[in-house]
Amino acid sequence: IKKIFHVLHKLSNDFEGFKNDLQSLHTSVNNLGSKIKAAEARISQIEDENSLQDSQAISRIDDLENRSHRNNVRILGFPEGIEGNNPCAFLSKILPDLQGLDSAEPLEIERAHRSLGQHPPPDKRPRAFIVKLLRYPTREKILKAAREKGRSTWQGNNISFYPDLSRDLQQRRQRFTEVRHQLLDRGIRYGMFYPATLRVTFNGVASAYTSPEEVAAFIKTLPP
């Protein structure tokens, strides 16, 4: 009997030790789980911060690109090769009459070239001219004349004038296309301002919108 009690006592001690070891292991697992959760939260925070920094960096680069194009005009419609070997001279001669500009004020074109890409075949649309003007006000006069005329024609070719914007900014502005058509149908004045802000004037009050959703919400408040 003493042997049995001795064995039972030993087993009891061993069991208590096992319980203590198990409790210690459980505590360690819980601590490890907490550390893993904390690490995951920190990693998620770092990823969010990096994503924000990447987005901000891309925005800054895009802004710098557009500011470097501040004096540029993109002109579409002139047939390929019509400029010969001197696009600056060709455009300096053609644009004043085409856009009704004061011929006494020189355009002062710093440089001009066709957009990058292969020479298109005759049945395809010609490449655009990218024109860098020496002075920003001259660029604004050209674009203003284009807006007021609506359409320019030269030797049977429709000529269009646009700001020279980055692809990203073009896409941001294109998102306003549908609401701009709705405003136009209602006879409501609007203008697009840098970088992608639509300014709407209604009943003498001007409002600025940075997303097409905001403009759509405004249109819904108007009487039919």
Burial 12-37 (b: 16+ CB within 10 A, else e): eeeeeeeeeeeeeeeeeeeeeeeeee
User: For 161-218, what is each residue's pLDDT tens digit?
Assistant: 999 988 899 899 999 999 999 999 999 999 988 889 999 999 999 999 999 999 999 9
> Which of 26, 47, 68 is the endpoint of a domain?
68
Among 68, 89, 116, where does a domain finish? 68
Q: Do 77 and 150 sit in the same domain of this protein?
A: yes
Report residue 177 as tokens.
């296309």
Residue 77 has pLDDT above 70, yes or no: yes
CB 72 within 8 A of CB 132: yes
What number is the average pLDDT over the span 138-147?
93
Q: Note whether 197 and 208 are within 8 A (CB).
A: yes
114: domain CATH number is 3.30.70.1820
Model pLDDT for residues 56-67, shown as the tens digit of each residue: 777 788 778 878
* 123 and 139 housed in the same domain: yes
Q: How far apart are CA 170 and CA 165, in angstroms?
A: 6
The residue ranges of DSSP E strands in the chain, in sequence order, are 72-76, 109-114, 129-133, 152-154, 157-163, 189-193, 197-202, 205-209
Specify the CATH number for the domain of residue 189: 3.30.250.20
Backbone φ, ψ for residue 4 (5° rounding):
-65, -45
Q: Which residue has the tokens 């294109």?
A: 174
Q: Does the pLDDT of residue 121 top 80, yes or no?
A: yes
Per-residue pLDDT averaged across 47-60, rounded?
Answer: 77
Give the mean pLDDT of the chain: 88
Higher pLDDT, 55 or 91: 91
Q: Is the pLDDT of residue 221 over 80?
A: yes
> 71, 136 in Cβ contact below 8 A?
yes
Q: Are residues 27 and 56 in the same domain?
A: yes
pLDDT of residue 114: 96
Which pLDDT value is given to residue 37?
86
CA 163, 169, 173, 175 torsion: positive or negative? positive
Domain encompassing residue 183: 169-220
> Domain total for the chain?
3
